Amino acid sequence: AAATPRSGVGSRAVPGAAGAADEVEDRDGDGRPDQWIFERDGKRARELFDDNGDGVPDRTVFYEADGKRVQRVEQDADGDGATDSWVMYQNGKMSQRRADTNADGQVDSWIFYDESGRIARQALDTDGDGTRDRAELFENGKLARRTEDLDGDGRPDRSSRFDAQGNAVETEEDKDGDGQIDVRSFYESGRLVKRELLDGETAEATR
């Protein structure tokens, strides 16, 4: 059976942080605090959670002035002691998320959500140089289009379209870096069926 949360467990001091919480809870019933609640003008302002059971908060939830709707969430997802995920909310719904996925101290993933909470677009820094080199657009929460800067010159040199199942449908590539598309590939069920070279030559792929 699930543990019953207990209030008023232990000290109201927060490990690794200054100040004392207004309320402390033990969500898993192990006798140790794992939720610290701070209030402002009698309303909930922020909550700190210890999700991995190491005794130190790794997720902080900030609330709007009404004390009910979430404003943002900051989290140490990998437990190394550094915040690596920042989620923003609008009208109580998740609107965007920034993340440091490789623990180098720099944000390398930006995700934006539509009003229904589904992912709408995403940008990535895949090589860790501090520059976004991949952009993805989603339709109904599914990947529809991707552009990539493969040579790091700041310009997209590959663009791909996907079907509703996430399979590639068409890819356009700038192979020589001159800013012009020179290869176009077509796929069926994710398998290459035709490739066009824009000098007029067309190569049929083996099915």
Domain limits of the chain?
11-104, 108-206
Query: Taking the model in full, what pTM does it have?
Result: 0.82
Q: How far apart are CA 131 and CA 141, in angstroms?
A: 25
Greater confidence (29 vs 18) lies with 29
Average per-residue pLDDT for the chain: 90
* Residue 130 predicted with pLDDT over 80: yes
User: What's the gap between Cα 128 and its chain centre?
Assistant: 16
CA distances from 11 to 14, 15, 25, 26, 31 (A): 8, 10, 10, 11, 11
Structure tokens at 146: 């991707």
**75-112: pLDDT as tens digits:** 999 999 999 999 999 988 999 999 999 999 999 999 99
* Residue 140 predicted with pLDDT over 80: yes
- Average pLDDT (115-142) is 95
Q: How far apart are CA 109 and CA 89, in angstroms?
A: 17
